[in-house]
Amino acid sequence: MKKLCAFTAAFLFLKFSLILCNLTELNCFWRIKNSEDNYRDLRNDCGFVLLVFEEPIEENFYNHVINFRIPARKYEFFLVMFFATDEINKNPYLLSNMTLIFSIIVGMCENTLGVLDIAYSQQNNSFDLINYSCGIQPYCDIDLTGPSWTTSLKLSIYSSTPKIFFGPFNPNLSDHDQFPYVYQVATKDTYLFQGMVSLMLHFRWTWIGLVISDDDQGIQFLSDLKEKIHKHEICLAFVNMIPENMQIYRTRAKIYDQQLMTSSAKVVIIYGEMNSTLEVSFRRWAYLGAQRIWITTSQWDVITKKDFSLDFFHGTVTFAHLHSDIAEFRNFMQTINTSKYPVDISQSMLGWNHFNCSILKNNSKMDYFTFNNSLEWLAQHTFDMVLSEEGYNLYNAVYAVAHTYHELISQQVESQKITKPKGVFTDCRQVASLLKTRVFTNPVGELVNMNQRENQCAEYDISIIWNFPQGLGLKVKIGKYFPCLLQSQQLHISEELEWATGKTLVPSSMCSVTCTAGFRKIHQKQATDCCFDCVQCPENEVSNDTADMEECMRCRDDTYANVEQTQCLQRAVSFLGYEDPLGMTLGCMALSFSAITVLVLVTFVKYKDTPIVKANNRILSYILLISLVFCFLCPLLFIGHPNQATCILQQITFGVFFTVAVSTVLAKTITVLTAFKLTTPGRKIRKIMIKGAANLLIPICTVIQLVLCGIWLGTSPPFIDRDMQSEHGKTIIICNKGSVIAFHFVLGYLGSLALGSFTVAFLARNLPDRFNEAKFLTFSMLVFYSVWITFLPVYHSTRGKVMVVVEVFSILASSAGLLGCIFVPKCYVLLIRPDLNFCQKKHKLLHQ
């Protein structure tokens, strides 16, 4: 008790010194000046001093010394301090025969009620615990500060006592040359940005906003994040770098607000310190009704759970270092002795819920409209009271101090030079040196190394904040991130994930709608890679089920794209075959006309001695009919599966037999004309012209055509080709002409012969003879010419099988025109009107 009385007297002296110093030294009163934004974060943080005594304290010690209102968001820190010190004091091996207590640092943890109101209470004559006395520090106890790193930074200016920072890891405090007595218990966020990127890839969020503090830590995070998202085609819609200076921030606040509110990005990463201008921005956006998915660290849980309205969008996703559950803490919360500790758990449950109460997954189905208030809802559900990351860090920090004090006391006992009360330490260097080297296993089995807290494989818990009913603020664990496993095994997200609104549909955050199968993306000018338009793949190209393809894939020659252009299908082979109705029809027509022509030839042979047959030159008529038979049979080479032989024979037989037929018609017209023009009997030239013309003209014309065909075959002969464009989904096997020029030369030569025949026949059309066939020859050549003149444009405007059909039809039509115009009238006379089959004497010579 003497130690306790001395302790209380020391507090009275220090408080008096503080008030007196305030009258003379302004620097002493920096902690409670509301007008100084520079130190406002100290009032928002918590600072504790851990002391050790040989004598036990009174049962209601904390009820006497802590007599101010504790903010709801700081319940956790006090509960952790109560629990940890109580657990250590019950441990007979750690601080044997000693008592560990804590006090708070003036100006921290409490609501701003005024220094005098906090320092002294007339009701019970008790004082607030302090640890600073205007730079005069006779003892060297260890301070615990957090969760803002600036607290440790500013407190280190006024005191050289060792300090453990229990807030998030900050590289600024790792500079032991500048801050030799500041240590961190938190694990470094080495892979935080990778975990966030993995989460975005999982949910396909490619269009995100970023809000960071404008300091070294924020800039480093931006650099790491940009490098990672660039590899995975994730784009930043905007980057708000919030300045730390309030005056600068005020000049730019509206710009930041506009960037956030007008952006189409529905997912925003926020990274930086609380109790800063960044938090001011965050609260402004809540007031403006910003409806976003916030991805952040666990230190922002308090803000997002208590203050944000999430009426439309889906909550806040937080990353926290994975730590073991402290089962005893749950028991401590359920059985806390409120007479010993100044916390009424029944009244502070809602406050506890606002900092880190999570709901079990199997109880996650909430009836949002069943209860009228949150407390009524709380009473109906079972909660898992898990420490927040800062709370767990504080728990480890208390044990680090206990282990340090244990080592210091052991050294005092071993040296046997105890000149001061046991547990009183004055050498700050010794205390700091021992604190830095502490390595221990905490009660839940985790190894804590104060000299190395940069765990390269720190694992993360991923949680989402539910805010329904409004203001409830439940944190539900939805997954984990393991950075040191294989990439496919790093992220684990619950398959039964429900968003804050109770819906399971994953919200979307993309600049452009994903291009589905059958489409490809075209990037917009002067826009990021995530902003693009979707256009359908070109003909016979596909894009498969993979979304957002840059280029479509062309189908192989033997395949074709389906209507949706999502896959290539095997083409069906097609050609003008006899199984095809059109092919069968044309084949039957060819055979029928051939048979008819044979019948005409038989008729002419049978009536060869009749005047009408003799008057039209029997031999030329026989040659013409035989050539027409082969002309009618030519289409059979065009029908059926093409091969190299049939492709060559198609054009050669067509060209040669039509040349014979047309040259025979030319010979007949010349014979008719010369017979009537050379009327002087007995002249040799007349006989030569009449009898020799047919014998010479036909072979000469045929040889010329054979030469042309030979040149054609020698330079670029016809070959088998595959037409994949004419019919969708089919490969049409056709004969390619090879040299188109040679093909047109053959047609042109036939055209010139037909034109010559037409001209000669036209001149002889009015010659006086009963059996003068000049008119019929003229009309036959007119039909022939009309067919092939029409053929050329139609042929070149069609493709595939239709092209073959056009050529076959032209062959049949022109051949039928010759047969019908020349021989049908003669057959009519021979078979139906034989009475007209006689010859006058004056023309008897012509008929011979």
Query: How many of the other CB atoms lie within 10 Å of CB of 60?
Result: 13
Q: Is 622 helix (H, G, I), strand (E, B) or coil?
A: helix
Give me the pLDDT at residue 507, please: 81
DSSP assigned state of 630 = H
Annotate 107-141 with b (16+ C-beta within 10 A) or e (fewer).
bbbbeeeebeebbbeeeeebbbbbbbbbeebeebb
CB 354 within 8 A of CB 473: yes
List, in order, residues 6 or more apart from 123 with CB less than 8 Å away.
67
How far is it, in rounded angstroms, from Cα 77 to Cα 496?
33
Sign of CA dihedral 27, 32, 34, 40: positive
How far is it, in rounded angstroms, from Cα 195 to Cα 485?
12
Query: How many of the other CB atoms lie within 10 Å of CB of 569?
Result: 12
Q: Is 328 helix (H, G, I), strand (E, B) or coil?
A: helix
Give me the pLDDT at residue 346, please: 45
Give me the pLDDT at residue 785, please: 80
Sign of CA dihedral 418, 422, 428, 430: positive
DSSP assignment of 224-271 equals HHHHHHHHTT-EEEEEEEE-SSHHHHHHHHHHHHHHHHH----EEEEE
Return the axis-axis angle of helices 216-231 and 192-203, rounded to nearest 10°: 40
Give me the pLDDT at residue 473, please: 61
How far is it, in rounded angstroms, from Cα 345 to Cα 171?
37
Cα–Cα distances (Å) from 680 to 18, 694, 761, 774, in that order, read: 156, 21, 22, 21
Q: For the full predicted model, state whether its pTM sits above 0.75.
A: no
Here the tokens at position 673 are: 């004309």
- The secondary structure element, H or E, covering residue 752 is helix 740-763
Q: Is 214 helix (H, G, I), strand (E, B) or coil?
A: coil
Here the tokens at position 224 are: 């790491």
Give me the pLDDT at residue 356, please: 46
- Domains of the chain (ranges plus CATH)? 2-187+390-449 (3.40.50), 192-325+457-493 (3.40.50.2300), 519-570 (no CATH), 581-721+735-783+805-847 (1.20.1070)
CB 594 within 8 A of CB 629: yes
Which residue, among 108, 119, 124, has the nearest Cα to 17 in the 3D structure?
A: 119
Which residue, among 737, 756, 554, has the nearest Cα to 651 in the 3D structure?
A: 737
Strands (E), 352-394: 358-359, 383-384
How far is it, in rounded angstroms, from Cα 106 to Cα 49?
11
Backbone angles phi, psi at 213, to 5 degrees: -80, 145
| Residue carrying structure tokens 């956790």 | 76
Here the tokens at position 427 are: 């050498």
Here the tokens at position 248 are: 């600068």
Which residue blocks in 616-683 are alpha helix, DSSP H?
618-633, 644-677
How far is it, in rounded angstroms, from Cα 369 to Cα 182?
49
DSSP assignment of 558-616 equals TEEE-TTSSSEEEPEEE---TTSHHHHHHHHHHHHHHHHHHHHHHHHHHTTTSHHHHHT
Residues in the chain: 848
Grouped pLDDT means (10 residues each) for the chain, 848 residues: 42 36 29 34 69 72 57 75 90 87 72 32 34 50 81 64 86 78 85 91 91 89 90 90 89 90 90 82 81 84 52 70 82 73 53 45 40 43 62 92 91 70 81 89 88 72 71 74 87 78 74 85 79 87 76 85 87 86 91 92 85 76 90 90 88 89 84 63 54 73 90 89 79 86 88 83 63 72 84 83 88 88 83 67 41
Which residue, among 136, 133, 126, has the nearest Cα to 64 in the 3D structure?
A: 126
Sign of CA dihedral 132, 137, 138, 143: positive
How far is it, in rounded angstroms, from Cα 450 to Cα 443?
16
Give me the pLDDT at residue 728, please: 75
